[in-house]
Amino acid sequence: MELSSRQLALKERAAAFSNGLLRKRGAEIDQSREYPFDVVEALKAERFMGMTIPKEYGGQGQSFLDTVLVIEEMARACTVSARIVVEANMGAISTVMAYGTDAQRRRAADLVLAGDKPAICITEPEAGSDASGMKTRADKRGNRYVLNGSKHWITGAGVSRLHLIFARVFDESGEELGVGGFLAVRGEAEGLRIGKRETTMGLCGMPEGELVFEDLEITPDMVLLPPSGFKRGFADLINAYNSQRVGAGTVAMGIAAGALEHAIEWVKTREQFGRPIGEFQGLQWMLADMQTQLTASRLMLHAAAASRGPGGSAFPDPTLAAQAKIFASEAAIKIVNDALQMFGARGYSRDFPLERMARDVRMFTIGGGTAQVLRTLVASKVLGWKLPQTRH
Ligand SMILES: CC(C)(COP(=O)(O)OP(=O)(O)OC[C@H]1O[C@@H](n2cnc3c(N)ncnc32)[C@H](O)[C@@H]1OP(=O)(O)O)[C@@H](O)C(=O)NCCC(=O)NCCSC(=O)CCS(=O)O
Ligand SMILES: Cc1cc2nc3c(=O)[nH]c(=O)nc-3n(C[C@H](O)[C@H](O)[C@H](O)COP(=O)(O)OP(=O)(O)OC[C@H]3O[C@@H](n4cnc5c(N)ncnc54)[C@H](O)[C@@H]3O)c2cc1C
Contact 86, 78 (CB under 8 A): no
pLDDT for 144-189, tens place per residue? Answer: 999 999 999 999 999 999 999 999 999 999 999 999 999 999 999 9
CATH superfamily to which 5-113 belongs? Acyl-CoA dehydrogenase/oxidase, N-terminal domain (1.10.540.10)
pLDDT for 176-234, tens place per residue? Answer: 999 999 999 999 999 999 999 999 999 999 999 999 999 999 999 999 999 999 999 99
Percentage of the chain beyond pLDDT 70 is: 100
Q: Ligand 2 centre and the CA of 152: distance in Å?
A: 11
The residue whose CB lies within 8 Å of the most ligand 1 atoms, and thus the one to mutate among 120, 168, 238, is: 238
The SS3 of residue 357 is helix
Q: Ligand 1 centre and the CA of 238: distance in Å?
A: 5
Q: Ligand 1 centre and the CA of 373: distance in Å?
A: 9
Q: Domain coordinates of the chain in residue numbers?
A: 5-113, 119-224, 233-383
The response to whether residue 380 sits with its C-beta less than 6 Å from ligand 2 reads: no
Taking phi first (over 0 means left), then psi (-120 to 50 degrees means alpha), and beta for anything else, what does residue 352 get?
A: beta
Task: State the CATH class of domain 119-224.
Answer: mainly beta
Evaluate if residue 11 carries a pLDDT over 90: yes
Greatest C-alpha distance within the chain? 80
- Check: pTM over 0.90? Answer yes or no: yes
CATH number of 233-383: 1.20.140.10
The residue whose CB lies within 8 Å of the most ligand 1 atoms, and thus the one to mutate among 84, 93, 132, is: 132
Spatial separation of the C-alpha atoms in residues 386 and 375, rounded to whole Å: 13
**Confidence class of residue 1 from pLDDT cuts 50, 70 and 90?**
confident
